[in-house]
Amino acid sequence: MRASPVLHFFAMLGLTATLAAQAQGTPAALDLPQMGEPADLTLSPGQEAKIGAEVAAELYGGDYLVEDPEVSDYINSVGWRLAAKGAATPVDFKFFVIGDPRINAFAVPGGLIGINAGLLLAADNDSELAGVMGHEQAHVTQRHLARTVSDTQNANLATWAAMIAAIIAGSANPDVVMGALAIGQGVNQQREVNYTRSHELEADRIGIHTMAEAGFDPEGMASFFAKLEQQSRLYGTGLPEFLRTHPVNTTRVAEARARAGSLPRPGRQDGPEFALMKARTQVLMADRANEAVEDFGRRLRAGNTAPEIRYGYAYALSRAGRAADALEVLAPALAALPRQVNLNLLQAELLAEAGRKTEGRSLLGKTFSLHPRYAPAVLAQAQALLDDGKPAEARLVLLSREQALGTRVETYRLLSEAARQLGNVAEAQFQIATYDLRRGDQRGALTQLDAGLRLVSLDPQDRARLSAMRQDLISRIPKNVLADLARDRRLRSAYQR
């Protein structure tokens, strides 16, 4: 895992080894407690943004995320639909899908919302998912961690940043979590738990109203709470109270149902996107492609011929290297939903994999034309153009689609690849540095900028652009991290000599 100020803080506590070990292996299952947020006098909005950026960097650097454009776009669409009906003051939310099979979600200061893959797999409809996301967004908009910390005299920025990041990286190990909690020795832990409970109830109330305003069924929160109650029962009494991220009981479920009953129910039916992305997530989370092939194949043979089952089966077959079989499985779903974007994107991919590249590219182009504002279609079209040796066209696709540029970090990687194919190395370095920076990798971004500035053929305009970005980046990197970077450079120079 790359160094960060939070990890330097961990080093003093003997936690760095645990984090590094988990970063190098398969990410541990995450069970993040709801931390909420603090009051301006104790933790300013700027400090909250810093904590959120640190946590995002740990998530990227530790390989904890499901970085799939289609699943990510779906989670973002639900999140922003809720945010549009939420707090009066807009929050710069960032939504992440966590590669954890357990049912959980979390919110971090700075607007970072994490949704476990296991939560998406456990939900039965988009309203259940929206219920959890609305609840988490309420924790952020109501600044629950801020209100908790402001009432806890001995808590500070280092305490909360270290606690959050330690729990992210070590949640599967109770000793790590206990160590993180021990950082704030003056914090009254029982009081913190009590505040969390009161915040949970407030988040329920606000979240239910927000989801109803956004057109979701407000009953979704209560029905998902029932699932959480069953989940907590499975753990029994052995689970420490602070690890129960969303403590629920029959009373809380009943209160949620009562609130939902007083609100209007939507007159719409769910579209196919939820079920399709749930199936896609199951395939992505499978340990082996054949495991998903067997599961979806069994369900199809048992008579479940719904489009999402065929989609999941076809996607699993594709990942198992069986594109021709996948096309055959997918055909009835395409007949039922001929213009559904996720089905069309998968079909285009399968055609190319099956050796029918011309057909695949034609279908991808048609899908992109029909859905020009759908970011995964934009990214897929750009990647296909790059693969076909058409970097100028790929660059135009990316730069002319504002919804992708700046909102999908993958855009910057593709822009870098396009620039490299066009022979513009300075532009390639700038874009890949932006990509690293958006992922919280300050070290990587600085390395890319330095590599660009060493180019002999660099013109004055490009040099000024790279230098300005580098200067701004250095001004935001903590001094201890800069010292480590300088030490690394000296070591590299010594080895090169």
pLDDT at 16 exceeding the cut of 80: no
What is the chain's mean pLDDT, rounded?
79
Q: Which of 122, 67, 127 is nearest to 95 (CA)?
A: 67
How far apart CA 408 and CA 235 sit, in angstroms, is 37
At how many degrees (to 10) do helices 341-353 and 307-319 cross?
30
Burial 137-153 (b: 16+ CB within 10 A, else e): bbbbbbbbbbbbbbebe
Residue 150 pLDDT: 56
DSSP notation for 362-400: HHHHHHHHH-TT-HHHHHHHHHHHHHTT-HHHHHHHHHT
* 449 touches 473 (CB < 8 A): yes
Range of the domain at 495: 424-497
Residue 38 pLDDT: 41
Residue 140 pLDDT: 84
Instruction: Tell me which of 261, 276, 307 is where a domain ends.
Output: 261
In a domain, 430, yes or no: yes
* 15 touches 125 (CB < 8 A): no
Tell me the three state secondary structure of residue 421: helix
pLDDT at 25 exceeding the cut of 70: no
The share of the chain scoring above pLDDT 90, in percent, equals 48
Q: How confident is the model at residue 159 (pLDDT cuts 50, 70, 90)?
A: low
- What's the total number of domains in the chain? 2
**Separation of CA 307 from chain center:** 26
In a domain, 286, yes or no: no
In a domain, 201, yes or no: yes
Residue 166 corresponds to which tokens in the numbers above?
């330690």
H-run or E-run covering 331: helix 323-336
pLDDT at 9 exceeding the cut of 80: no
H-run or E-run covering 115: strand 112-116
Instruction: Tell me which of 241, 261, 281 is where a domain ends.
Output: 261
* 260 touches 218 (CB < 8 A): yes
Amino acid letter, 477: I
In a domain, 40, yes or no: yes
Residue range 126-143, pLDDT digits in tens: 999 999 999 889 888 887
In a domain, 127, yes or no: yes
* 69 touches 76 (CB < 8 A): no
Residue 164 pLDDT: 59
pLDDT at 179 exceeding the cut of 50: no
Residue 21 pLDDT: 31
Instruction: Tell me which of 205, 235, 261 is where a domain ends.
Output: 261
DSSP conformational letter for 65 = B
pLDDT at 480 exceeding the cut of 50: yes
The share of the chain scoring above pLDDT 70, in percent, equals 72
In a domain, 37, yes or no: yes
How far apart CA 3 and CA 16 sit, in angstroms, is 10
Contacts of residue 468, defined as CB under 8 A and 6 or more positions apart, other chains included, come to: none
* 97 touches 129 (CB < 8 A): no
In a domain, 296, yes or no: no
DSSP notation for 275-335: HHHHHHHHHHH-SSHHHHHHHHHHHHHTT---HHHHHHHHHHHHHTT-HHHHHHHHHHHHH
Residue range 411-430, pLDDT digits in tens: 999 999 999 999 999 999 99
In a domain, 168, yes or no: yes
pLDDT at 396 exceeding the cut of 70: yes
pLDDT at 299 exceeding the cut of 70: yes
* 431 touches 412 (CB < 8 A): yes
Residue range 75-122, pLDDT digits in tens: 999 999 999 997 666 678 899 999 988 777 888 878 889 898 999 999
Spell out where 191-305 has E strands.
Answer: none
Asked which of 35-44, 216-225, 452-461 is least confident by mean pLDDT, the reply is 35-44
Amino acid letter, 225: F
Amino acid letter, 100: D
Using alpha carbons, list the distances in angstroms from residue 341 to 70, 346, 347, 363: 10, 9, 10, 11
Residue range 97-107, pLDDT digits in tens: 999 887 778 88
